[in-house]
Amino acid sequence: MKLEFDITPQEFKIVEEILSSHLTDNCQTWVFGSRVKNKALHNSDLDLALECKGNIPTNIIRQIKTAFEQSKLPYRVDVLDINAVEPYFRDIINQKKVCFPFEVKSKVPPLRFAEFDGEWERKSISDILTIGSGKDYKHLNNGDIPVYGTGGYMTSVDSFLYDGESVCIGRKGTIDKPVLINGKFWTVDTLFYTHSFIDLLPKFLFPLFKRINWKKYNEASGVPSLSKSTIERIKLSLPTKPEQQKIAAFLTAVDNKIEQLSKKQGLLSEYKKGVMQKIFSQTIRFKADDDSDFSDWKEKKLGGVCKVTTGKLDANAMVESGQYRFYTCAKEYYKIDDYAFDTDALIVSGNGANVGYIHHYQGKFNAYQRTYVLDNFTDNIIFVKFILDEYLHKRIVKEKNEGNTPYIVMGTLTDMKINLPSSLEQTKIANFLSSIDSKTEQVTKQLDNSKQFKKALLQQMFV
């Protein structure tokens, strides 16, 4: 968007934010004076004429002026109500005025519970709560009161700064990770806490704080920092307390579901890890369908179980709209126009951050030159993948020379010794572990969907 007055894009955003926070959608803003003539000096005033239906309340004009005075603009902003000035001055403004384009922020959320209506009220943080400063705790004795810093829990002491619900935000260091705390606690001097709330629920404040771009308010060129005065000037849109309670309760229910799914995902992962250790150490054994025992496991080299080759291409050979999969050493695959393999294979990352990561794919594909392709298996390919998932990384770490980045050579794979049961037991084990993977994938999908649902709610249920 090309502006018809002298102002930088960064300055435009500041002015737009202030105006949209205070004016209604039936108002128009005009720029007049030297900045319209394109002859403004760097520190020339920005002259704004506000035009609404009827006179603008004096307290709104005063709030806008105060916001500009407290902003980071490098010049003064003069604001007036065009309908409140003398006719001759209005005529002068009208002759040279240029529209300041901006969208007024809606005062109602796009998504709302049916029993609520009316506009949300815009308030400064200083009008709705008090910001408390953390303190040193080293003079205190050990106890059961948690001490928090910007990195989270630090220790426990025998005294507290606050008892109740509070939203905390970093003063220095990590300034963009608000946390909700409930109960007795102590914070160190790098972490602000909030208290003495006025018509505001901390559980509702927490998602509001998470929506704020805190880094925008950073006041330091080195370690990120916030001050009380800066936080207090930030404006938030608030509904009535009953609506706050309804929104907070709903989001809490969503958070509980996310927590339950995350816990279930972790339990499945731990269960699989534990059962794999017992299966591969032969602590537990499967039986045949007739309840007879399977034969003993036999040790083989991986090179005797499958063919091991590598890809031939550079990593940059990928094509965005290619027809076939192209495997590099990344966890995701890319696309390419031609294929070198048409097989059922395990594709192993040979170096980099994901060294030892294993894909399983059946079909036509191509591969990077540092990616190993394992195919032509004499044994169950899924069972072998589970074996490699369990033991390959340990082998890679064991072979790593001191100070060197881990990587795979051909012998890492071909000479790797693995224990194999009979083909029927391999199938039973592979099917059992695959069923756990399937359940984990379902839970992971539910978890991802729930997180996306919450993200959409945070965008739609707030102003």
Query: Annotated active-site positions, please?
Result: 45, 47
Tokens encoding 5: 């007055």
Long-range contact set of residues 61-65: C-beta below 8 Å, sequence gap at least 24: 63/22, 64/18, 64/19, 64/22
Tokens of 118: 């009316």
**Alpha carbon distance 227, 327 (integer Å):** 49
Say how far apart CA 257 and CA 263 lie, in whole Å. Answer: 10
Phi–psi pair at 344, nearest 5 degrees: -95, 110
Other CB atoms within 10 Å distance of the CB of residue 164: 13
> How many H-runs (helices) and E-runs (strands) does the chain carry?
9, 20
The DSSP output letter for 115 is: T
- Alpha-carbon distance of 263 to 447, in angstroms, equals 10
For residues 416 and 392, give the distance between their C-alpha atoms in angstroms, rounded to a whole number.
8
Closest CA to 11 of 49, 39, 45, 51: 45
What is the Cα–Cα distance from 90 to 83, expressed in whole angstroms?
8
**C-beta separation of 217 from 234 below 8 A:** yes
Between CA 246 and CA 252 the distance in angstroms is: 10
Instruction: Report d(CA 381, CA 362) in Å as an integer.
Output: 11
Closest CA to 144 of 194, 181, 185: 185
